[in-house]
Amino acid sequence: MPEESRKSYPMLSQKSWWLLRIKFKQTIPRKVNSLYLKTVLGMEEVSATKNVLPYLKDIGLIDEEGNTQDFANKWRNDSEYPTSCEELKKKIYPTDLLDAIPDPSSQKKQTEEWFKSRCGVGEAAAKKMTLFYMMLCKAKVEDEERFSKPSEKPKETKPIKPKDMKGKETVVKDKAEKGESRDEGIPIIQLPAIHLNVQIHLTSDASTNQIDQLFASMAKHLKEFFPKKS
């Protein structure tokens, strides 16, 4: 029977739960300590001592000295996993919780409020207790698959540097002028075209000499806008 007066319940994370079970399925350790947890879970020894070891003792996987218990062999066996979760529920939680909220996945908020009221803890601790209780009630071995496969890191895309961009713009522009297809995602930078419209109004009595001087003067000033290419 569970202790009705207890003021705390397991807050072991799902990640630690499943990673440990995967390791136990490979080899059951004789003893579990902070160094073992650091290696298996990839966490600091201080964190393992505070956030993992107490709960492993509480659920009966190890004793006070860290020695692995017989329950661990049943817990790691896929066919016996649902039964082991049911045993843990009855061992850890009082009947008023098991009877009132047998399916916490559909009553998550009510479950959190139960832990807050019973244990006098804050929202963060109540959520952790609720998640662990939900995991035991679900008792699905298939959930282990999320942690058994290494996650693939997304490939990093190398940004285009400004100096590289200039060369690519030139190549793309040449292709566009030749009617060839260009790569997607690379912008084409074109210089703006300049058009000048010049209107000349001459009187009917203007002499040929005056007309020649007028056009000579225009040519002189227009050269300042359009210098010859070297």
pLDDT in tens, 5-30: 677 999 999 999 999 999 999 999 99
Whole-angstrom distance, CA of residue 225 vs CA of residue 229: 12
Q: What is the mean pLDDT of residues 101-118?
A: 96
pLDDT at 1: 44
pLDDT at 218: 74
Q: Name the nearest CA neighbour of 58 among 95, 103, 88.
A: 88
- Helix or strand or coil: residue 26? helix
Contact between 21 and 76 under an 8 Å Cβ cutoff? The reply is: yes
Whole-angstrom distance, CA of residue 1 vs CA of residue 11: 20
Q: What is the pLDDT of residues 175-230, one digit of tens each?
A: 555 555 555 555 555 656 666 666 666 666 667 777 777 777 777 776 665 556 55
Whole-angstrom distance, CA of residue 174 vs CA of residue 169: 9
Give whole-number Cα distances, 175 to 171, 172, 180, 188, in Å: 6, 5, 5, 10
More confident residue, 76 or 171: 76
Number of neighbouring beta carbons within 10 Å of residue 100: 12
Contact between 122 and 115 under an 8 Å Cβ cutoff? The reply is: no
Whether residue 116 is predicted with pLDDT greater than 60 in this model: the reply is yes
pTM confidence score: 0.64
**CB contact set of 30 (below 8 Å; sequence gap of 6+):** 67, 68
- Helix or strand or coil: residue 226? coil
Whole-angstrom distance, CA of residue 155 vs CA of residue 152: 9
Number of separate helices (H) and strands (E) present in the chain: 12, 0
Q: What is the pLDDT of residues 50-75, one digit of tens each?
A: 999 999 999 999 999 999 999 999 99
Query: What is the SS3 assignment for 45-102?
Result: HHHHHHHCHHHHHHHCCECCCCEECCHHHHHHCHHHHHHHHHHHHHHHCCHHHHHHCC
